[in-house]
Amino acid sequence: MGYLNKERILVIGACGQIGVELTLALRKIYGEGNVVASDLRDEHELLKGTGPYVSLDVMNKEMLHVLVIRHNITQVYHLAAILSATGEKNPGLAWHINMQSLLHVLDVAKEESLHKVYWPSSIAVFGPGSPKQHAPQHTIIEPTTVYGISKMAGERWLEYYHKRYGVDVRSVRYPGLISYKSAPGGGTTDYAVEIFHEALEEKRYTCFLSEDTHLPMMYMPDAIRATIELMEAPAEKITVRSAYNISAMSFSPGEISEAIRKHIPDLEVDYIPDYRQEISDTWPQTVDDSQARADWGWKPQYDLQRMTADMLVNLRPGFQ
């Protein structure tokens, strides 16, 4: 554990759906004082009192650079982004924020010789030309959303900074993520979180995707574990310097409704697909994560049933 204590970590976008849980997990491993959380927003309730917090706009490179030097940062987890559904409403902004923020982080990493950089990609890199089932690590990558285009370009930049400047960059293509601690931030798979809240409060939910839209999904504890396991893997094991496919489960709104009905039998769900249906129609239903399994031992722990039971118990303690 000795080397872990020498690391000083900056989490950018720490108040988001992933950031809150990732920051808390990193603080357990590296020590509270060694993980600096940052975001545009006010500090998230769950982060308060758990370690240092600074306000940061990652679009301001100066500010980022000074922060990295002042806090002796050695690793950056860059999570700030405009997500898929929000991105389609303002493509120019999504491109600008997603790309420029990543380039700022990569430049500072190069200039300050940071030990490691983490930046997540997404299954949104795939497009209508990619295989729908078991989308391979290397395949046709022709995304049709601005979010997907920014993730595809981001992956290329990661590889570029690794090859050209030796920056130790690491990334996974997250599927849709389901969590109970912090709310999702404008993605196409947000329904899979909303449905739990509505099931518990109203016993009815109107879904913005059609009943049989199958998408790759993952429970947050698996996503956090994947992230940390990838970041802690020895550098020589990392053969993919763009972003690894990782997979846990695939389900449709109809199937998650059925899983919740095992606990809340009178849940009613109707389906009124909106513009997010078009986005999800371009993504694969399942992805092939054999490279991640082979290189750094990735293995999920949660399937649909186990995730559903855990979500309900955590959202309403005492729930059976």
Residues that bind ligand NAD (CB under 6 A): 12-13, 15-19, 39-41, 56-59, 79-81, 83, 120, 122, 174, 176-177, 184-185, 187, 189
18 and 32 in contact (C-beta within 8 Å)? no
Q: Which is nearer to ligand NAD, 162 or 186 (CB)?
A: 186
* Residue type (1 letter), 113: S
**CA atoms of 51 and 44, how far apart (whole Å):** 12
252 CB-contact burial (10 Å; exposed 0-12 / middle 13-18 / buried 19+): middle
Question: Closest distance between ligand NAD and the C-beta of residue 2, in Å?
Answer: 30
205 and 195 in contact (C-beta within 8 Å)? yes
Residue identified by tokens 């590889």 is: 159
Q: Which is nearer to ligand NAD, 114 or 220 (CB)?
A: 220
How does DSSP assign 214-257, residue by residue? -EEEEEHHHHHHHHHHHHHS-GGG---SS-EE---EEE-HHHHH
- Catalytic residue, chosen from 30, 53, 118, 147, is 147
Question: Closest distance between ligand NAD and the C-beta of residue 295, in Å?
Answer: 20
Q: Hey, what are 5's tokens?
A: 């204590």
230 and 243 in contact (C-beta within 8 Å)? no
Q: Could you confirm whether 161 is annotated as catalytic?
A: no
Question: Closest distance between ligand NAD and the C-beta of residue 320, in Å?
Answer: 28
Task: Enumerate long-range contacts of 278-281, CB under 8 Å, 24 or more apart.
Answer: 279/84, 279/85, 279/88, 279/124, 279/145, 279/188, 280/188, 280/189, 280/209, 280/213, 280/215, 281/128, 281/213
57 and 39 in contact (C-beta within 8 Å)? no
Question: Closest distance between ligand NAD and the C-beta of residue 26, in Å?
Answer: 14
Q: Which is nearer to ligand NAD, 96 or 134 (CB)?
A: 96
Helix (H) or strand (E) holding 298, with range, is none
Q: Which is nearer to ligand NAD, 122 or 308 (CB)?
A: 122
Question: Closest distance between ligand NAD and the C-beta of residue 77, in Å?
Answer: 9
Q: Hey, what are 246's tokens?
A: 């990782």
Instruction: Determine the residue with CB nearest ligand NAD.
Output: 16
Question: Closest distance between ligand NAD and the C-beta of residue 220, in Å?
Answer: 9
Q: Which is nearer to ligand NAD, 16 or 51 (CB)?
A: 16
Helices (H), the chain: 17-30, 61-70, 84-89, 91-111, 146-165, 191-201, 220-232, 253-261, 275-281, 290-296, 304-315
Catalytic residue positions?
Answer: 147
